[in-house]
Amino acid sequence: MALDPKKTFTDNEVKERLAADLPHWSFQDGWIRRTYRTSSWKGTLMVINAVGHLAEAAWHHPDITASYAWVEVRLMSHDAKGITERDFQLAKKIEDVVGWQPGTEADSALEGTPRGDLRFAYIKYD
């Protein structure tokens, strides 16, 4: 059965879902939000581009605010005037991609950026 894309969740349902599935996200002023800390403008732009790609592919568009070393992503379904399953699913996909840490997976050839060398610093992981 397909999910109703316009079914909105109550404030309590949103908070419960975030606590269970997206603990680094919060609910404030009708939006679910997450701030990613970066190491520099380069990292900030990389996060923005990753979020932009995922949002465009999903045809669901977040509000993004950024500064030198942080990016805030805000999601709310404008057409439904609230938080829907689309918001949760896009938040989860963003979290999976932006929060991915190479070098932490067993048997992976993807080692990640050199730790301790600020020339290659990217995102500050939780």
What is the CATH classification number for the domain harbouring 21?
A: 3.30.1360.20
- The answer to the question of residue 5 being in a domain is no
The pTM for the full model equals 0.91
* Distance in angstroms (rounded) separating the CA atoms of residues 82 and 105: 36
Using pLDDT thresholds of 50, 70 and 90, give the confidence band for residue 1: low
| Domain limits for position 75 | 11-100
Is 92 contained in some domain? yes
Contact 110, 102 (CB under 8 A): yes
Report if residue 1 sits inside a domain: no
Residue 119, helix vs strand vs coil = helix
Q: Which residues contact 17 (CB under 8 A, 6 or more apart)?
A: 9, 88
Query: Which pLDDT value is given to residue 24?
Result: 97
Residues 55-69 have pLDDT tens digits of 999 999 999 999 999
* Count of structural domains, the chain: 1
Residue at 121 is within a domain: no
Q: What is the pLDDT of residues 3-50, one digit of tens each?
A: 787 899 999 999 999 999 999 999 999 999 999 999 999 999 999 999
